[in-house]
Amino acid sequence: MKVGVIGAGNWGRNLVKKFYRLGELAAVAEINPDIRHKLSAEYPGVSFHDGYRDLLEKDIPAVAIATPAHTHYRIAREALLAGKDVFVEKPLALSKAEAEELVELAEKQNRILMAGHLLLYQPAIRWIKNYIDSGAIGKVAFLAQERLKLGRVRAVENVLWSFGVHDIAVLLYLVGEKPQEVRAAGQRFLQENIEDDVHLHLRFAGVVQAHLHISWLWPETRRRLTIVGSEAMLTYDELEQEVVLHKKRVAPDLQHHDGGSEVVFRGSEEPLLLECRHFLECLERRISPLSDGRSAVEVIEVLEAADGQLKRSGKKSSTF
């Protein structure tokens, strides 16, 4: 197995590093000559190309795409048509129709298609999924996710598409189903047509709901997941890599019960390395990835529904 990485910029260079560390990096395509020159000195034995089509012509079975989001669909489509297995950084595409086309093409070509939903490969998230499914916190009422920072502002995609993809993937994974209702509200402060701050609400079958607040215009960095159940609650601090079990609940008689709190899981392994290993395992065993194309379509479906509401209701408030 060998992998070619297409795009070695801000995030792509991390994929280059991980696949090289795993002994599976064959080639890199990057249009920036300065980046190519720097990486070629760091990774001897790897071929470098100034265009991705040159890489697609090489006898390499798989590619990982980490180019700007608006190019994902086009490059992934060409890679699948070239007979490659494909890993695409989030989002898989910028529309449900494009994502579905990629899934259908991968199935027709008998190729692996995997989306880069990194948080699914955090050991803490996998642990939380198993813990919820065991019934240890009882019936889940709601999940609340925060991803807030003074971050790099994009001029093409809004904060929902930039920051929210991973979190939506996690929420769908933990609940185990698609939402029945999607609602979103956001604010455009820095640019006329780009939301900087978004609140997303998902309602699932039964009583389960989920809330997501994402912003790149925030004074503190906060990455936190809270899950409230009928018997107990969980919090996951992504920055500290700690999962805390809160033995707290409100009984049917509305009385509070507090059995204290304890750290029940600490993250340790690198999620990107685990994600890359998973892709390689799927290539070797010809199995469907955890973050396969169809799960990516469900994420994009939520994004599209939310984005539609934001476009209809969003108005520019002010500018600096």
pLDDT digits (tens, 9 = 90+) for 36-55: 999 999 999 999 999 999 99
Residue 318 is predicted with a pLDDT of 36
Residue 314 is predicted with a pLDDT of 62
Per residue in 164-179, pLDDT tens?
Answer: 999 999 999 999 999 9
Residue 319's pLDDT band, with cuts at 50, 70 and 90, is very low
**What's 78's domain CATH number?**
3.40.50.720
Q: What is the mean pLDDT of residues 93-107?
A: 97
Q: Give the domain-ending residue among 116, 138, 169.
A: 116
**Is residue 284 situated within a structural domain?**
no
Q: What is the mean pLDDT of residues 239-259?
A: 91
Q: Are residues 112 and 216 in the same domain?
A: no
Q: Are residues 129 and 260 in the same domain?
A: yes
**Is residue 319 situated within a structural domain?**
no
Residue 51 is predicted with a pLDDT of 93
Q: What is the mean pLDDT of residues 264-283?
A: 94
Residue 116's pLDDT band, with cuts at 50, 70 and 90, is very high
Is the confidence at residue 220, as pLDDT, over 80? Answer: yes
Determine the structural domain holding residue 8 and report its residue range: 3-116
> How far is the CA of 33 from the CAs of 9, 40, 130, 314, in angstroms?
11, 10, 46, 40
Is the confidence at residue 239, as pLDDT, over 60? Answer: yes
Show the beta-strand stretches assigned E in 151-298.
181-187, 197-203, 209-215, 217-229, 233-237, 242-250, 256-266
Q: Are residues 75 and 203 in the same domain?
A: no
Q: Give the domain-ending residue among 88, 116, 144.
A: 116
Is the confidence at residue 268, as pLDDT, over 80? Answer: no
Q: How many domains does the chain have?
A: 2
**Is residue 78 situated within a structural domain?**
yes
Q: Residues near 61 by Cβ (< 8 Å), separated by ≥ 6?
A: 1, 2, 3, 84, 85, 283
